[in-house]
Amino acid sequence: MAYPADLKYTKDHEWMRVSGNEAEVGITDYAQEQLGDVVFVELPDVGRRVNAGESFGSIESVKAVSELFAPVSGEIIEVNPYLKDHPEAVNSKPHETWMVKLRLSDSNASGSLLDSAAYERLISA
């Protein structure tokens, strides 16, 4: 699967789609492939503030549980309600299935993340 050029990526295999001072956050195709069939996504309450690198939820597949880490600092302004009953969307459409929307504390913070070319190098290493 191609890694969209309009997304920013982390070494923890999250992606972020920034528009203005808001961003959607999800996990990458590589991450969902490693996890296998996703059966449960545990998301935070709206209004919670998270720091870059902080765990804001968890994602569970049949075989394992992984934490979700905030790519940058911000406030949770929305969680994806669709995931409650359709966690498998993370497997089928990883780069379209956002988990939370963040209001960014620093709208330039995404500059420190990887672009798609750098992310592809990371996972093929």
Partner 1 sequence: MVPYAGWDMPVEYSGITNEHLAVRTRAGVFDVSHMGEIEIAGKNALAAVQLISSNDASLLQTGQAQYAALTTPDGTFVDDMLVYRMAPSHFMLVVNAANTAKDFAWISEQIKTIGDVAAIDSSSRYALIAVQGPAAREILQPLATIDLSDIGYYHFGHGEVAAARATISRTGYTGEDGYEIFVPPNVADRLWQAILDSGRSADVLPCGLGARDTLRLEAAMRLYGNDIDETTTVLEAGLGWTIGWNKGDFIGRSRLLEQKERGSARKLVGFEMIDRAIARQGYPVLSGGHPVGTVTSGTQTPFLKKAIGMAYVPSALHAADTEIEIDVRGRVAKARVVKLPFYSRS
Which positions touch partner 1 (CB under 8 A)? 36-37, 39-40, 42, 58, 60-63, 65, 84
Rounded to the nearest whole angstrom, what is the least distance from the CB of residue 95 to partner 1 in the complex?
A: 19
Helix, coil or strand: residue 90: helix
Minimal distance in Å, beta carbon 58 to partner 1? 7
CB atoms near residue 1 (< 10 Å) = 11
**β pairing state of 14-19 and 8-9:** antiparallel
Q: Which is nearer to partner 1, 39 or 52 (CB)?
A: 39
Q: How far apart are CA 2 and CA 36, in angstroms?
A: 18
Give the nearer residue to partner 1 in terms of CB position, either 42 or 54.
42
Q: What is the DSSP string of 7-46?
A: -EE-TTSEEEEEETTEEEEEE-HHHHHHH-SEEEEE-PPT
Cβ of residue 40: shortest distance to partner 1, in angstroms?
6
Query: Which residue number, 12 or 60, has a Cβ lying nearer to partner 1?
Result: 60
Q: How far is the CB of 103 from partner 1 (least distance, A)?
A: 25
